[in-house]
Structure 1
Amino acid sequence: MDIFAESSCKLNCFLLLFTTMDDQPRKQDTPLVTSALASLREVISLLPLSSGNRLPSETDLADRIGVSRPVLRQALGVLKEEGLIESRKGSGTYKSASAPPAMAYGTPENLSDLGDCLRFRMVVESAAAALAAQRADADNISEIRRSVEAMEDNSDKYSVALEMDMAFHLAVARAAHSRYYEMTLEFLMPHILFGLKLGRQMKHVSPNSTSKRVANEHRAILTAIENRNADAAADAMKEHLSSGIERIFGNRSW
């Protein structure tokens, strides 16, 4: 295949993926499915561009990306709809020959990566929160409020609080009404999930106390968005993520 043909093929693959993902909206994924999708896309991207490359078994994949098999199957179903993978009866699941190259950020390799990710998120998510204050409709605000209230009501339930934390950030990104904010968070999900878990495990503070503090920070962002105060929403998001850095590294200037 010559260079022009190869470039054309890659461009068509990107267009196919984005058309599937954005122009034909599907039922909203849960945060755990979104995280699984980001991890699966990375796994798939590491396989050579050939229809002859089989994915690991469901059990191996679930263990590798840290989700249950039901969540994994939901994510695999999305990737099949997007044409990134295909199932062969009695043989397994394979990477599609038309699967595009990787667009994810990979997985965090060390604490330095995590710190860089949080600082990057401060820029992106503060801007998203400001836009959400200006653009969010009633449904967006209801979605953000539900995630805040669910986290407040379940601060003593680690898995629920963790999922509602991710749900909150995705809801704010959606409320900005610019697909790039949500897409960026989706590709960052492995990093975000790693940071959320680490922030609750590294310090000598109970997960319950951390969840309550995070829920209060989320509530402040929600209030600013409800009040249509873009500056306050951006500041509250920046304060929230700065607190995340402090929870992990012990200070905000790490």
Structure 2
Amino acid sequence: MPLQAVESQRLYRQIAEQLRGLITAGEFEAGSRLPAERDLARQLGVSRPSVREALIALEVEGWVEVRIGSGVYIRPQAAGHGRGNGHAAGPAEWGPLELMRARELVEGEVAALAARRARKAQIAAMADALAHMQSDAQAGVVPREGDEAFHAAVADACGNEVLRDTVVGYWQARSGPLFARMSDYFENPASWSAALVEHASVLDAIRAHDAQAARSAMHHHLQRAYNRYSASWRRANSS
């Protein structure tokens, strides 16, 4: 297959562009299955999670259909037809995995600053957001609203407007269709249960005004979140 190794910048887009080009050129017939994820990763010289991210982007754009346990198939109306190059500018099309890594770096320091500077009212706002998450999770509702409120409260407590706006920007990026589709695949009651425990650890450290513990707890949370979004299709859907 005429695939080329890709560079790291906006990796999932580069992978998606190559696959989209092959589909448009008729290299894959309508209804045919793409090569296995591991084979695509080997030929492209990238990780399997990066390939998975690109395949989900193509699914969002209508080029392929992901069938868990079976494979990724070319949609009949996509093969041989140009439907745009899939480019979209701005945070809404940041790669979810790259976004997770950026959040880990930035929000760890935000949490450390919050631990040093948070006032009682700001800590109460974090506690309220966590309670909102717990209430939604118990009701079977995806607790994204409380999740966003928690991270916004931590950012507000750090005392730096630029960092606060940066964290808000990360959450705006989560509203994009790619992130939403990945959430459908990789978020489930088990993942949210784990996330609730991780958020509680961040809150405990900030309440104790322990900057190092807050940084470590936030790093741990976002590292685990990255791992959850990097899970295999089968493992993500068996939780």
TM bucket, shorter chain: 0.5 to 0.7
Task: Confirm or deny that 1:133 pairs with 2:118.
Answer: no
Shift in CA distance, 161/118, structure 1 to aligned 2, threshold 3 Å:
same
- Equivalence for 1:233: 214
Measure, in 2, the Cα distance between the counterparts of 1:142 and 1:193.
Answer: 26
Q: 1:217 aligns with which of 195, 198, 217?
A: 198
Shift in CA distance, 158/108, structure 1 to aligned 2, threshold 3 Å:
farther
Measure, in 2, the Cα distance between the counterparts of 1:219 and 1:199.
Answer: 24
- Equivalence for 1:116: 98
Q: 2:91 aligns with which of 100, 106, 110?
A: 106
Q: What letter corresponds to residue 160 of structure 2 in structure 1? A: S
Equivalent pair of 2:118/2:157 in contact (CA under 8 Å): yes
Shift in CA distance, 176/161, structure 1 to aligned 2, threshold 3 Å:
same
Task: Confirm or deny that 1:187 pairs with 2:172.
Answer: no
Shift in CA distance, 151/196, structure 1 to aligned 2, threshold 3 Å:
farther
Shift of the alpha carbon at 1:140? 0.5
Unaligned runs of 5+ in 1: 1-103
Unaligned runs of 5+ in 2: 1-88, 233-239
Measure, in 1, the Cα distance between the counterparts of 2:181 and 2:201.
Answer: 23
Once the two structures are superposed, the pairs formed by residues 195-210 of structure 1 within 5 Å of their partners are 197-198=180-181, 200-203=183-186, 207-210=188-191
Provide the aligned C-alpha RMSD in A.
2.3
Deviations 1:189-218 (A, max 9, x none): 232345874564223x6x322222111110
Q: What letter corresponds to residue 134 of structure 2 in structure 1? A: E
Task: Confirm or deny that 1:166 pairs with 2:151.
Answer: no
Equivalent pair of 2:103/2:170 in contact (CA under 8 Å): no
Measure, in 2, the Cα distance between the counterparts of 1:142 and 1:224.
Answer: 14
Measure, in 1, the Cα distance between the counterparts of 2:130 and 2:218.
Answer: 14
Measure, in 2, the Cα distance between the counterparts of 1:157 and 1:210.
Answer: 15
Measure, in 2, the Cα distance between the counterparts of 1:188 and 1:121.
Answer: 7
Deviations 1:154-213 (A, max 9, x none): 21446561100111111100010111111112222232345874564223x6x3222221
- Equivalence for 1:148: 130
Shift of the alpha carbon at 1:230? 0.4
Q: What letter corresponds to residue 131 of structure 1 in structure 2? A: L
Q: 2:225 aligns with which of 244, 250, 254?
A: 244
Equivalent pair of 1:198/1:248 in contact (CA under 8 Å): no
TM-score of the pair, normalised by structure 2:
0.54
